[in-house]
Chain A
Amino acid sequence: MKPLWRIGYWRRKRELQAEIEAHLQMSIADRIARGESEQGARQAAMQEFGNVPLVQDVTREVWGWIWLEWLTQNMRYAARRLRRSPGFSAAAVTIIAVGIAVTTTIYSIVYAVILHPLPFAQPNQLVAVGAKPLPWLSLPTIQDWQRGSHAFQSIAAYGGWSPRIESSAGLGHVNAELVSQNFAGTLGLDFVLGRDFTKTGNESDCFGQAIVSYSYWQRMGGGNTLTNRTLQLDYRTYAVVGVLAPNEDFQEMEALGEPSILTPIGCDPAKSPQSRGDEDFGAIGRLYPGVSLQEAAAELQTRQRVLSREFPQDYAATFAPVLVPLADYISGTGTRSALFATLAACGMLLLIACANLINLLLARNMRRRSEFALYATLGATPRHLAGQMLAENGLLSTTGAMIGIALSVLLVRAVTRLSVVHLSRLTLAKVNLPVLGFAGSLTILISLLLTFLPALRSLRPTLLTDLTYGGFRGSSASFGLRRAGRFLVATQLAMAFVLVASSGWMVSSVFMLLHQPLGFEPDHLLIASTDLRGHTRNVTLPPAKVLAVLDQTLADVQALPGVAEVAAANDKPLGGRVNRYDFCADVHPDDCKHPASTAPDVFQVTPKYFHTVGQQIYRGRSFNDGDDGQNHVAIVNRALAAEQWPGQNPIGHRIYSGELHAWATVVGEVGDVHSYSLERAPVPNLYLPEADGTDTSMTIFVRTNADPSQMNETIRRILQSDDAIELRYVESMPELMAHQVIVRRFSMWVISAFGILALALAILGTYALLAYEVSVREREIGIRLALGSSRPAIVSLLVGQESPWIAAGMALGLLGAVMVGILLRAEFYHAKAASLPVLLASSILLALPALVAVAIPSRRASLLDPSVTLRQE
Chain B
Amino acid sequence: MTTVTPYKNRIELLQGTLDMLILKTLQWGPQHGYGIVQALRLQSGEVLQVETGSLYPALHRLERQGWVRSEWKQSASKQRARYYRITASGKRQLSSDLSRWEQIVKAISSVMHGNPEEGEA
Measuring CB to CB, which residues of chain A are less than 8 angstroms from any residue of chain B? 15-16, 18-20, 22-23, 25-27, 29-30, 49-51, 54-55, 58-59, 61-63, 376-377, 379, 381, 463
Contact = CB atoms under 8 A, between A and B. Distances in A.
B11 interface: yes
Given A18-B80, A27-B34, A62-B60, 13 more contacts: A18-B82, A22-B34, A23-B32, A23-B33, A23-B52, A29-B79, A49-B52, A50-B51, A50-B52, A50-B53, A55-B52, A62-B57, A381-B4
Nearest to B53: A55
Given A22-B82, A25-B79, A26-B79, A59 B56 contact: yes
A27 B2 CA distance: 36
Contacts of A51: 53
A22 B61 contact: no
16 contacts: A18-B80, A18-B82, A20-B52, A22-B33, A22-B34, A22-B80, A23-B33, A27-B34, A29-B79, A30-B38, A50-B51, A55-B52, A59-B60, A63-B60, A377-B2, A463-B2
B15 to A, nearest CB: 11
A22 B81 CA distance: 6
Contacts, number: 68
B56 A55 contact: yes
Contact of B4 (A16, A18, A63, A379): A379
A20 B52 CA distance: 9
- B1, B35, B38, most chain A CB atoms within 10 A: B1
A704 to B, nearest CB: 86
Contact of A19 (B8, B64, B81): B81
Contacts of B4: 379, 381
B7 interface: yes
Contacts of A26: 32, 34-35, 75, 77, 79, 81
Contacts of B56: 16, 19-20, 55, 58-59
- A18, A20, A30, A58, most chain B CB atoms within 10 A: A58
Contact of A58 (B8, B32, B64, B82): B8
A61 B56 CA distance: 11
Number of chain B interface residues as a range: 20 to 34
Interface string B70-91: 0000010101111000000000
A546 to B, nearest CB: 94
A287 B8 CA distance: 64
B7 A54 contact: yes
A63 B4 CA distance: 23
A63 B61 CA distance: 8
Given A26-B34, A379-B4, A463-B1, A59 B57 contact: yes
Contacts of B61: 62
B57 A61 contact: yes
Nearest to A462: B1
Contacts of B51: 50
B72 to A, nearest CB: 8
Interface string B32-53: 1111001000000000000111
B43 to A, nearest CB: 17
A378 to B, nearest CB: 9
- A23, A51, A376, most chain B CB atoms within 10 A: A23
Nearest to B81: A22
Interface string B1-27: 110100110010000000000000000
Nearest to B82: A19
B65 to A, nearest CB: 11
Contacts of A377: 2
A29 B76 CA distance: 12
Contacts of A463: 1-2
Nearest to A56: B56
B80 A54 contact: no
B60 A22 contact: no
Contacts of B11: 58
Contact of A62 (B2, B32, B64): B64
A13 to B, nearest CB: 12
A19 B33 contact: yes
- A16, A25, A30, A376, most chain B CB atoms within 10 A: A25
Contacts of B60: 59, 62-63
A59 B82 CA distance: 15
A379 B57 CA distance: 21
A22 B57 contact: no
For the complex of A and B, list the 4 residue pairs with the smallest distance between their C-beta atoms, beginning with the closest: A22-B81, A26-B34, A59-B56, A23-B34
